Structure 1
Amino acid sequence: MEEIIRQAQAAVRRFLPRGGGGGRLIGAGALVLLALWGASGFYRVQPDELGVVMRFGAFDRTAPPGLNYRIPWPVETVTTPRVTRINRVDVGFRTGAEAGPGGRVIPARDVLAESLMLTGDENIIDIDFAVFWRIRDAGEFLFNTRNPEETVKSAAESVMREVIGRTPIQPALTEARAQIEQEVRRGTQAIMDQYRAGVEITQVQMQKVDPPAAVVDAFRDVQRANADRERARNEAESFRNDIIPRARGEAERMVQEAQGFRDSQIARARGEAGRFNAVFQAYSQAQDVTVRRLYLETMEEILRRNNMILVDDRLQGLVPFLPLDGRGGAAAGQTGAPRSLPAPVAAAPAINQQRPASQGGMPR
């Protein structure tokens, strides 16, 4: 630096007159020039920028936002790229933000060479998508790639063709769009990291996913037919889901009823058998008492369901008898017989007279 200053002073002396005053003037001018040159090294980095300092054209360091200093030109130079701004690259179409000759706005248009792709089931699909990216490393962004934006575009288009090439057309048009976007973003980011481009892919957004314009009407007819088929299938599934549980419930109810009837019949049969065994044991121990008890129980059961008529030799005609439960009242009123009855003691001989002559066995 001192050598450069001395050479500059010598060049100025050649054009100035000799003398002491001229030397002081040259020194003062040199100091002023040196101060101005040194002050030119101050620079400001905005909040959304990052300073990249290059010394003799080679990357040296980065500078944070704020007021910074560098060695003035031609030793060090500064570039301040916007590292927080989200940049956008369109693939398959061009937006109307570009201006043509004379400032005329160019309308949005499709670029079929970029948007037409082959799907996994050998169909052609028209895809327009946008890639959003930002600068992650300013040094790599400036020095490792010549055209970072074009690199991002080429990498994203290549990855999209790869993903669509293994995806059928139907999922690509409907439910697989979010998955495709994530796969393309990860694949493009992997390529950028491999290139050390200093770029971060923040989002991939699919703008339009349609069949080619030449076959779009036929494709929509196919889509409507598929929708009708899916609707009919859903209705059939709904009917099946309604009728099958109902039939299963009815079958289960019938099985439960049959099991309950079986258990009741088994329990009743076992009870009858137990009662018969108990009666048989009692009969084996006391035959006369058991026979009489069975006879009385049987007659009680029979007489409970029928009107009783007692025949007595001392009375003339038939005398209706009113049972204790009141079922003989109607019969008495119909025959016109008097309601006054003999005393129970008087009816006892008649009962005794009706008994069979044989006292040893059960009456038949």
Structure 2
Amino acid sequence: MPWQNNGDGDRPNPWGNGPRRGGGGGEPPNFDEYIRKGQDQLRKAMPGGKGGPLLIVAALILLYLYWGFYQVKTNEQAVVLRFGEWVASSSPGPHFHFPPFEQVEIRGVTDENQVSIGSRVTESRRSGRQSFARPDESLMLTQDENIVDVRFNVVWRINDLGNYLFKLQDPDGTIKSVAESAMREMIGQNRITPIITTARGQIEQSVKELIQTTLDEYQAGVDVLRVQIIESEAPEEVKDAFLDVQRAEADQQRFQNEATKYRNEVIPQAQGQAEQMTQQAEAYRAQVVARAQGEAARFMSVYNEYILAKDVTKKRIYLETMEQILAGMDKIVVDGKAGSGVVPYLPLEQLNKKSGGE
């Protein structure tokens, strides 16, 4: 394991951290000065002012205690290594270890870390901050067999320092590989149009959950805070063609919407007309049936009267029928047996019409 840096500017040492001090300065502690001051204080405390070897032993004990003491802040975690083996983890607060047999590794666990997939950012004094594309990471295959260029960041932090340091050989590289694999899986389950338009938020959430599940299986000791898609678009070489396809798909959708609107207008109108025709047919049927039933009832009533008095009924039917037939005719029938004194023909109907016209 690398030597621990206590974060105060002191040089790392292979035995862990001494107590943290608020002052600056990168110089190591002056142990001779500490021993001399300790001896002076012990001499003053002992009768006769003489301590001899006892003073040296006491000073060495104090020095060892000082050497083995370390402080873990509230935003940190620590692991204790004994001959390079992880034997314990330390929560925030004061702790003690046994140097030089044990070492202490302290890391901040609330700091956010970020890994970028599909691009790299470099900084230099001459060119400043620049971003470089990584097509080998960003080009991915969609469900509809298109290529999409996806660049994204994964923000994470440590939640278990021991697992983070010792469960994985290369924690940062593992997080990057898992993130790229998860994004490729989600992209392969979606079509290109929603990927670059409306489905980015859903994809980010799904990728975050998949990365977290995979890292938990590895016992990586990491919490994935968020996944941020920086850019998702068609590759530069086919961007113009893809835009043409998008416009065609938009026109197709517009035509479909117009056809649906027309269908929604025509179908109810046709259904109304069909219902009206059905109702008219039902009314006509009811009218015809009622008329037929009436005719049948009248016929049956006449027939019943005919059965009771055949001669009278025949004569009445004959007279009624002749009345209906001759009612609209302009002829006058004169009985030939009436004698020679009767006027054979008198157009009474024409006279009536003429007198009425005058």
Structure 2 length normalisation: TM-score? Answer: 0.64
C-alpha separation between the residues in 2 aligned to 1:268 and 1:50? Answer: 102
Q: For residues 46 and 261 of structure 1, what CA distance do their matches in structure 2 show?
A: 96
Once residues 298 and 144 of structure 2 are traced to their aligned partners in structure 1, the CA distance between those partners, rounded to angstroms, is 81
Alignment of 1:120-159 (within 5 A): 120-159=143-182
Q: Does 1:26 align with 2:53?
A: yes
Q: Deviations over 1:7-64 (max 9, x none)?
A: xxxxx9xxxxxxxx99823312321331343245444433333332333432222233
Q: Does 1:38 align with 2:65?
A: yes
Q: CA deviation at 1:335?
A: 10
Mapped to 1, the partners of 2:278 and 2:196 lie a distance apart of 51
Q: Equivalent residue of 2:229, what SS?
A: strand
Q: What is the aligned counterpart of 1:100 among 124, 133, 148?
A: 124
Structure 1 residue 255: Cα displacement = 1.2
Cα separation, partners in 2 of 1:177 and 1:39, compared to 1, 3 Å: same
Give yes or no for the alignment of 1:69 onto 2:95.
yes
* 2:109 match: secondary structure: coil
Q: Secondary structure at the match of 1:50?
A: strand
**Residue equivalent to 1:91:** 117
Provide the C-alpha distance between the structure 2 equivalents of 1:161 and 1:32, rounded to a whole number of angstroms: 62
Which residue matches 1:277? Answer: 300
Match for residue 79 of structure 1? 105
2:245 is aligned to 222
Structure 1, residues 235-280: CA drift from partner, whole Å, max 9, x if none? 1121112212221221122112212221232133223423442454
Q: What does residue 207 of structure 1 align with?
A: 230
Aligned CA-pair RMSD: 4.0
Distance (Å, rounded) in 1 between the aligned partners of 2:291 and 2:75: 94
Please list the CA deviations of residues 163-216 of structure 1 after superposition, one character each: whole Å capped at 9, or x if unmatched: 445655344334554554455445434543454322233433322111122332
Task: Give the direction of change, closer, same or farther, for the CA distance of 1:254–1:33 in structure 2 (3 Å limit).
Answer: same
What do the CA deviations read for 1:74-98 (whole angstroms, capped 9, x no partner)? 2443333333444321111235xx6
Give the AA of the match of 1:54.
L
**For residues 258 and 126 of structure 1, what CA distance do their matches in structure 2 show?**
65
Distance 1:294 1:86 in 2: 114
Letter in 2 for 1:100: S
Q: CA deviation at 1:152?
A: 0.9
Rounded to whole Å, the distance in 1 between the matches of 2:275 and 2:130 is: 70
Letter in 1 for 2:240: D
* Other-structure match for 1:321: none
Report the more deviating stretch, 69-78 or 236-245.
69-78
What is the aligned counterpart of 1:173 among 179, 192, 196?
A: 196
* Amino acid in the other structure paired with 1:34: I
Segments of 5+ residues of structure 1 without an aligned counterpart are 1-11, 13-20, 299-333, 337-364
Deviation of residue 162 (structure 1)?
4.5
Contact 1:99-1:106 at 8 Å conserved across structures: yes
Given the superposition, is the C-alpha separation of residues 277 and 188 from structure 1 closer, same or farther in structure 2, using an over 3 Å criterion?
A: same
Q: Contact 2:123 / 2:130 at 8 angstroms: preserved in 1? A: no
- The code of the aligned residue for 1:24 comes to G
Q: Which residue of 37, 53, 62 corresponds with 2:80?
A: 53
Written as runs of structure 1 = structure 2, the 5 A alignment for 1:335-346 is none
CA distance in 2, matches of 1:279, 1:52: 120
Identity %: 43
Q: Give the length in aligned residue pairs.
A: 284
Kept after mapping to 2: 8 A contact 1:70/1:77: no
Matches within 5 A, 1:284-363: 284-285=307-308
Counterpart of 1:87 in structure 2: which amino acid?
A: N
Query: Structure 1 residues 70, 55: CA separation in 2 closer, same or farther (over 3 Å shift)?
Result: farther
Change (3 A) 1:284 1:54: same
Q: Which protein shows a greater Rg?
A: 1
Q: What secondary structure, in the 3-state scheme, does the structure 2 residue paired with 1:236 have?
A: helix
Distance of 2:298 and 2:88 partners within structure 1: 110
Question: Given the alignment of the two structures, is residue 238 of structure 1 paired with residue 261 of structure 2, yes or no?
Answer: yes
Tell whether the 8 Å contact from 2:182 to 2:210 is kept in structure 1 after alignment: yes
SS in structure 2 of the partner of residue 106 of structure 1: strand
Unaligned runs of 5+ in 2: 1-34, 36-47, 322-355
Q: Residue 120 of structure 2 contacts residue 132 of structure 2 at CA under 8 Å; is this kept in 1? A: yes
Partner Cα distance (1:87, 1:23) in 2: 57
Q: Is the 8 A contact 2:154 2:179 kept in 1?
A: yes
Amino acid at match of 1:262: R
Note closer, same or farther for the CA distance 1:262–1:72 as it changes in structure 2 (3 Å cut).
same
**The 10-residue stretch of structure 1 (207-216 or 160-169) with the greater mean CA deviation from structure 2:** 160-169
1:211·1:219 contact (CA, 8 Å) conserved in 2? yes
Contact 2:80/2:97 (8 A) holds in 1? no
SS across alignment from 1:201: strand
Match of 2:152, SS state, is strand
Return the match for 1:198 from 214, 221, 224: 221
- Aligned partners of 1:63 and 1:220: how far apart in 2? 56
